[in-house]
């Protein structure tokens, strides 16, 4: 089965035009899913250099690059850009190398058109850390949001479908990127790999979208029917809601993505994946009647709580059932640590 067959089954990702004076965050507030805004960052200095040449882009980045350690992902040419597990899942098909941004840029400059080059990929690195003052010419105004801005830089590569807890506005700064998105409810059809041993921190789909094996992963055909596909050019932006699965490909010999990530909940919240792991440890192997009872507990206290869930308890004695704040969150964490250490 080929990528072309899968793409033919997918719908195009929604594209929107902002009305005069409309902010992208206003559109996000009313959105029911992901969307693309063409040219949102068209005036960025990086995008202007991308319109000239790859070398203009790397020279532009050198103007801002700091001499600090960064992690680069190096993959062999036979992987054809796929950043993934080794064949037996005992490790990864790439190595991590601590280096400097200057070295990454040198390697990208040294590529030759048509050459079978190793994958060179520097992912999820804070712009403020490795490119101080870059945001002066490459700024996306996101008022009232504490966004973390990160750069993803490399040659042609493919990152397997994964989710992020964070909300994301991603801007293509150079090259072209393909995004393939799946709604959260397609989880059972994506054949997700290990959740505690991952290529980059988040669980990923085991399906290779370049060559999907529908004999091994038959339900993926249903996921593909719900997939959304778009190719973005320099200056284009995409909004990826929290928990939407997204497969990302860098299509050119030089690709840059700038992510603007922010947490959709209060800062004192814990990591939901930690709660999932704890539930697997504590609940999954219980007899079915007990699992059914705990499913009711979770619905009652977590997924569908109503205003009366703790109304019968005096406010100062509600503990974890009361209004959460920094102090309550701290007490809950301390209680969990004490229990887990027993």
Q: What is the pLDDT of residues 232-251, one digit of tens each?
A: 999 999 999 999 999 999 99
State pLDDT tens for residues 257-291. Answer: 999 999 988 888 888 999 999 999 999 999 999 99
Q: Could you give the CA distance from residue 262 to residue 166 in angstroms, rounded to a whole number? A: 5
Cα 288 from chain centroid? 34
Mean pLDDT (the chain) is 93
Q: Could you give the CA distance from residue 246 to residue 167 in angstroms, rounded to a whole number? A: 12
Residue 208 has pLDDT above 80, yes or no: yes
Residue 115 has pLDDT above 70, yes or no: no
Burial 306-315 (b: 16+ CB within 10 A, else e): eeeebeeeee
Check if the beta carbon of residue 194 is closer than 8 Å to that of residue 160.
no
Check if the beta carbon of residue 127 is closer than 8 Å to that of residue 257.
no
Query: In 10 A of CB 1, how many CB atoms?
Result: 15
Q: Could you give the CA distance from residue 335 to residue 1 in angstroms, rounded to a whole number? A: 51
pTM of the model: 0.94
Check if the beta carbon of residue 24 is closer than 8 Å to that of residue 237.
yes
**Cα dihedral 225, 230, 231, 236 in deg (nearest 10):** -170
**CA nearest to 248, candidates 23, 81, 126, 133:** 81
Position 3 scores a pLDDT of 59
Identify how many contiguous H helices and E strands the chain contains and give both numbers: 10, 14
C-alpha distance across the termini of the chain, in Å: 51
Q: How confident is the model at residue 339 (pLDDT cuts 50, 70, 90)?
A: confident
Domains of the chain, start order: 3-262 (2.60.120.10), 272-340 (no CATH)
Position 100 scores a pLDDT of 98
DSSP assignment string, 67-126: S-EEEEEEE-GGGTTEE-B-TTSSSBSEEEEEEEHHHHHHHHHT--TT--PPEEEEEEEE
Position 300 scores a pLDDT of 94
pLDDT over 70 percentage in the chain: 97
Q: How confident is the model at residue 58 (pLDDT cuts 50, 70, 90)?
A: very high
Helix (H, G, I), strand (E, B) or coil at 159: strand
């Amino acid at each position: 089965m080929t990528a072309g067959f899968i793409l033919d089954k997918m719908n195009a990702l929604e594209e929107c035009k902002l009305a005069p004076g409309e902010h992208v965050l206003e559109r996000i507030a009313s959105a029911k899913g992901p969307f693309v805004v063409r040219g949102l960052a068209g005036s960025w200095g990086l995008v202007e250099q991308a319109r000239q040449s790859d070398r203009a882009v790397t020279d532009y980045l050198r103007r801002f690059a700091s001499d600090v350690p960064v992690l680069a992902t190096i993959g062999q040419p036979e992987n054809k850009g796929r950043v993934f597990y080794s064949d037996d899942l005992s490790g990864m098909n790439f190595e991590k190398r601590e280096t400097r941004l200057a070295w990454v840029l040198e390697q990208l400059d040294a590529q030759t058109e048509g050459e079978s080059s190793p994958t060179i990929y520097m992912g999820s690195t804070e712009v403020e850390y490795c490119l101080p003052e870059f945001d002066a010419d490459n700024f996306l105004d996101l008022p009232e949001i504490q966004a973390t801005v990160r750069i993803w830089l490399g040659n042609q590569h493919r990152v397997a479908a994964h989710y992020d807890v964070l909300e994301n506005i991603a801007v293509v700064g150079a090259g072209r990127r393909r995004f393939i998105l799946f709604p959260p409810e397609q989880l059972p059809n994506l054949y997700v790999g290990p959740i505690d041993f991952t290529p980059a921190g988040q669980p990923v789909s085991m399906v290779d979208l370049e060559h999907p094996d529908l004999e091994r992963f038959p339900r993926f055909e249903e996921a593909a029917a719900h997939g959304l596909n778009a190719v973005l050019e320099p200056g284009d932006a995409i909004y990826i809601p929290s928990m939407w699965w997204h497969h990302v490909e860098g299509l050119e010999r030089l690709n840059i993505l700038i992510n603007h990530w922010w947490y959709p909940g209060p800062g004192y919240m814990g990591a939901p994946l930690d709660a999932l792991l704890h539930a697997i440890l504590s609940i999954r192997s219980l007899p079915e009647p007990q699992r059914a009872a705990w499913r009711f507990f979770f619905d009652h206290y977590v997924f569908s709580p109503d205003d009366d869930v703790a109304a019968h308890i005096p406010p100062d004695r509600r503990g974890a059932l009361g209004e959460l704040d920094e102090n309550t969150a701290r007490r809950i964490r301390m209680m969990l640590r004490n229990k887990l250490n027993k």
